[in-house]
Chain A
């Protein structure tokens, strides 16, 4: 009952022209960003973060979450129409979405992806609402030892989920953590690796580093590939959409994939891409017509879209309850919370319940707006792909510069953004993932503070004598050793 009261209060904060416009603007920007090949959800959220500086923390977060939610759907538009996923998580949507478009039924691909995204999003939000408040209550009882072990476990999932690239992922995580040690020590206040550079005393600012890693590295990669032609699309093919009965026949696929996507989204490093691959695979196995998958199966499109949209809700669970990001985009959201001087974690529920429940309500609203705008604007969104890259890439540079500068009005931060962009581009060339670096940068401070506090409170033994902490550390050890065992077995 208390939950509904909070939600109702949150919804009331959204009644009015301004909040609705904020949500709608976030959804439009998210769809456009997602539909542009080369602009990932995390990139869209990072680039537009500075535009929320003048807003209240609540409205800022509402807008960023709307962008995050909508960009996951936006990626499916280009996946269906031109077989070019706008976001990595839409790769699976293209498996069956594009064959539908090729067979003259693009409306089916777009319609199913939209409806599955919206309902998958609802599933994710419902699970987020149901589980985050109780989880936050449990988390409030956590000692620093538990926090340290939990954050460590979160990081270890990154390498265990990376498959054969586990070493590269582990290196990336450790690099992020090491870079986080630059600046004043969080507990003792001692200078570390600052080289007498005043700007480094606070360490690297999150936002410029994130923008550099996610946005600039991508643009540098595309510049190197030297392909700037816009995609050719035929918008008049968006014709017949599925009937209500056809949508209803997909309800179980959407529900299953929605639940699966949310659960996978909760794990740091997993995110929408892994969720959509697994959900697609599950649906294919359960289907009576698995041979139709890859040829234009509606269940395939529904599974991919429902799971990647619901992963948004899942990724927000650890972010809001524990202060641990579940995906690259939520790592950016952590940066946004910090800029607005809010500490992500269970205290958000006790100190700023209005923000949390307004955010929950806004996600519902964003899904409804997404449905309306998705239905109305499919022909329009596809035109985004026709923006020439000779214009798009310079614009991304310009947005990245303004975004990095606006955080602290510091030219040094713009240089940091550019530096991280170059480093990110080089790492990507050699198959090092970038999200783990961001997770390391974000979680480094949390890990350090809690470990140091644990040591002060009772020494290292406390990590192993508290049952939950010991369990989490054991799981961490298994997660770290597992890829090694798999590799040795394969040999």
Chain B
């Protein structure tokens, strides 16, 4: 158990844990739906994910090195928070399951949330090449367009204004030196 837990303490292990967690969640959702709990799938999934998180932390805790000569153990806190989280998440699962009525959240424009997320991710990933100013300026313009803004002068003005503002405040006034990007670096 300890060996398995410590062997998972790397990127591949993280991917394996996330994958296993997702598979378990899908399986659990199928079971919940088959038991006639379709009206509260989201709330049940949330409680189940919390159980998984607690379970994963508790499992990985077994792989943490312990110095026998020390009075305190690095495993203590993850166990101290993980066990109650697991128990409370199970309680929440039971509560949601047994509740006569669960108010389901309204799902709006999830597609827009996804697009916004992708745009922000793209901006973050282009920091190195395009630099902070161009990336965030472009991100601002694209996000405004995605959210329905059609006054192009306003969009261009806001983007340019933002780039100038951050350059002045962070690079010139606060001397924080935001990256200019490999593309524009001398």
Contact = CB atoms under 8 A, between A and B. Distances in A.
Interface of A: 50-51, 53-54, 167-168, 170-171, 174-175, 177-178, 181, 185, 187-188, 190-197, 220, 223-226, 228, 388-391, 393-395, 397-398, 401-402, 405-406, 409, 411, 414-415, 418, 422, 425-427, 429-430, 432, 444, 447-448, 451-452, 455-456
B77 A451 contact: yes
B130 interface: no
Which of B9, B89, B113, B139 has the most C-beta atoms of chain A within 10 angstroms of its own C-beta?
B113
A188 B70 contact: yes
Contacts of A426: 46
A394 B147 contact: yes
Interface string B127-168: 110001000100110011001110000100010001000100
Contacts of A171: 50, 85, 88-89, 92
A456 B71 contact: yes
Contacts of B43: 430
Contacts of A389: 147
Given A174-B88, A192-B74, A167 B95 contact: yes
Contacts of A50: 170, 176
A196 B105 contact: no
Contacts of A429: 42, 105
A174 B139 contact: no
Given A178-B82, A195-B9, A188 B67 contact: yes
A393 B113 CA distance: 12
B82 A192 contact: no
Contacts of A224: 107-110, 112-113
Contacts, number: 184
Which of A51, A178, A225 has the most C-beta atoms of chain B within 10 angstroms of its own C-beta?
A178
A169 to B, nearest CB: 10
A97 B57 CA distance: 49
Interface SS of B by simple majority: helix
Nearest to B140: A394
B124 A406 contact: no
B117 A422 contact: yes
21 contacts: A174-B81, A174-B85, A177-B81, A181-B81, A185-B74, A188-B74, A195-B11, A196-B10, A223-B109, A224-B108, A224-B109, A393-B147, A394-B143, A398-B162, A402-B178, A405-B127, A405-B132, A415-B124, A418-B117, A418-B120, A430-B105
A452 B77 CA distance: 9
A191 B65 CA distance: 8
B124 A414 contact: yes
Contacts of B28: none
A53 B176 contact: yes
Given A226-B112, A398-B166, 15 more contacts: A51-B174, A54-B175, A168-B92, A171-B50, A174-B81, A185-B74, A185-B77, A187-B72, A193-B57, A194-B9, A196-B9, A220-B113, A225-B108, A395-B140, A455-B71
B61 to A, nearest CB: 8
B148 to A, nearest CB: 6
Q: For this complex, into which size category does the number of interface residues on chain B fall?
A: 35 or more
Contact of A401 (B13, B72, B113, B136): B136
B124 A418 contact: yes
Contacts of B169: 51
B162 A167 contact: no
A426 B73 CA distance: 34
A409 to B, nearest CB: 7
A180 B4 CA distance: 23
Contacts of B112: 223-224, 226
Contacts of B80: 451
A415 B162 CA distance: 21
B132 A193 contact: no
Nearest to B73: A188
A390 B141 CA distance: 10
B162 A190 contact: no
Contacts of B117: 220, 418, 422
B121 interface: yes
A426 B46 CA distance: 9
Contacts of A192: 61, 64, 74, 78
Contacts of A187: 72, 74
Given A54-B173, A391-B149, A397-B139, A193 B120 contact: no
Contact of A391 (B76, B120, B144): B144
